[in-house]
Structure formats: structure tokens, C-alpha cells
Amino acid sequence: MSSEGTWTTGDIPDQRGRVAIVTGANTGLGYHTAAALAQAGAHVVLAVRNLEKGNLALARIVAANPGADVTLQELDLSSLDSVRAAAAALRETYARVDLLINNAGVMWTPKQLTADGFEMQFGTNHLGHFALTGLLLGNLLPVRGSRVVTVSSNGHRLRAAIHFDDLQWEHSYDRYAAYGQSKLANLLFTYELQRRLAQHDQNTIAVAAHPGASSTELGRSVPGWAKPLFTVAGAVFFQGAAMGALPTLRAATDPDVVGAQYYGPDGLGEMRGHPKLVSSSAQSHDEALQQRLWAVSEELTGVTYPV
């Protein structure tokens, strides 16, 4: 293994015989995560909303690595019907799942609702992944070394709270605070899931990662007035999506990872750099908050967990 500061895709252990499901794998962080896992020999399922873009991503991965074993699964995290259909298809096709990487997400969207009436960022980033994980967990639990990796963000610290009195932002809407809520929810979910897994068995762990400041399509919902600033900041401070995917890949494959860890870049402000173990906000470790969010998430999605 490399030294702590220089972990790269070259440090990914052999993934042959492993099945990895990556949400939002047609572009950005998800694409680079899927490509690296395929390169290491995993059978990778690109779980994507847009099958046309998914097919292009699959073709790119295979062109770069003709031996790659990659398939597509349609999945729209903003629709619980789609999540249920995708989970049913995946459960049937893959008796065992080694890695579930909850990567897909939206950021700073204008006020929108999911098919089920949830605020778009909370519904997609948290509730969609909560439902998907719960529906697939039975296929991970028997598999030694299996992991659920959920991608959060530095945004979990920024104006972030779980607004239980108005989870769907019906009374007023703040796109930045709504994003912060969804990314805080990703960590609360990871830590509560790990607590439950640890009580159940030792096969499966839940971990989290964040990409720092990475150039991806996530910025497509940046308000018009901020786009020039975002572009300039991106050129100076942001790293490429391939680097941004490294914390997720380390969380997913490093043999030394343990449950409830959080990985992010090692540079100034965790904005860029190679992946290392990082810490999350005190709020994300609030067990009462974790359990309250879990109960609400089960109620909203109708998905209960086998742990």
C-alpha cells in the first residue's frame, strides 16, 4: 500500500468476483468510481436515470478497458416506484452484492418536488438512497467484506440542519440550506446504519466519503448570477472528477477501512488532494438526531430495514 498521503487507484486491491452497484455512474464522480472498479476487475452496475447517457458511459469504460464487465440498470432516485423496480431487478440478478455506492445527487436545485412530493434534494440525495439501500441490504448482509458507501459533502457543515418541522421546505425554500440538510442526512444515515449493522453481524459495514471541491455536472443548478464566480473558483480551486472519486474508492476498497469512517481529500480545507480519514460535524454524530431521521425516513419511504 502507498503512504497515507498518496493513495491512488493503483492501491485498489483486486476486485475480481465482486459486484459493485454505483448510482449516478454515467458522469462525474460516479463515472470515475465505476471505471476504476471495472479496471480493478469488479462487475460494475451503472445505476442511472438516463439510459442513453448510461450507454455512452458504458461504452467509454469498455473502450478504455476492453475486458471490463459492466452493465446498466435504470434508476431514478427521485421516484420511489423507480427505486423499487430497480431494487427488485438487482435483487433478482445479483444474489450477492459486495459494494453499494450511493453516489448520485443533485445540488442547489430550484424548488422542485420528486414524483412522491419530496423536496428534490432531500428526496434524491437522502430518501432515494435510503430506500434503495434498505431494499438491497438483504443481498449485502451475507457477503463478507461488503460495504455501503454514501457520498456526502463539505456542504453537510454549511447552514445544515434537519428541519423536522418542514422537511420538504413547504413554507419557504433555501436551495443552499436544503442541500446542506440532504448532505447532513447522508452522514446521519451512514452512522445509524453502521450502528445497526454492528449489532446484527460483522460482514457488512457502512462508510462515507466526500469529494472536496470537484469539477462535475453537479454545478449545473448554480444560479445564473453565481455561474461566473463558480467558473473562476473552479479553475483555481477545484480538482478533476477523477481525483474527487478517490475518497469514495478508498472507502469502498481499502482493506483497513472500518465502519462509520469518513474519507475526504487531504489538502487545505479538504478541498482537493489524495484521500485520507477525515472527521464530520458534531451534529452528524448526534445519535438522537440519527434515530429520529431514520424513523422519519422509514415512514416517508415505506421501506423498513432487515437490521
190 pLDDT more than 60: yes
Q: How confident is the model at residue 238 (pLDDT cuts 50, 70, 90)?
A: confident
Higher-confidence position of 21 and 220: 21
Cell of 154: 463539505
pTM of the model: 0.93
HEC assignment per residue over 39-103: HCCCEEEEEECCHHHHHHHHHHHHHHCCCCEEEEEECCCCCHHHHHHHHHHHHHHCCCCCEEEEC
For residue 129 the three cell numbers come to 438512497
The set of residues, in sequence order, having a beta carbon less than 8 Å from that of 65 and lying 6+ positions away, is 35, 38, 39
Q: pLDDT tens digits, residue range 25-51?
A: 999 999 999 999 999 999 999 999 999
Q: What does the DSSP 8-state code read for residue 282?
A: T
Is residue 179 part of the annotated active site? The answer reads yes
* β-strands 262-265, 19-23 pairing: unpaired
Looking at residue 1, its pLDDT comes to: 43
**283: pLDDT confidence band, cut at 50, 70 and 90?**
very high
Q: Check pLDDT > 60 for residue 3.
A: no
Q: Average model confidence (pLDDT) for the chain?
A: 93
Q: Does residue 158 surpass a pLDDT of 70?
A: yes
**Candidate list 179, 191, 262, 305, residue with the active-site label:** 179
pLDDT band at residue 2 under the 50/70/90 scheme: very low
In tens, the pLDDT along 109-140 reads: 999 999 999 999 999 999 999 999 999 999 99
pLDDT over 90, % of the chain: 88
Is a pLDDT exceeding 60 seen at residue 55? Answer: yes
- H helices of the chain, in order, are 28-39, 51-64, 80-93, 120-121, 129-140, 175-200, 227-237, 241-244, 246-253, 287-301
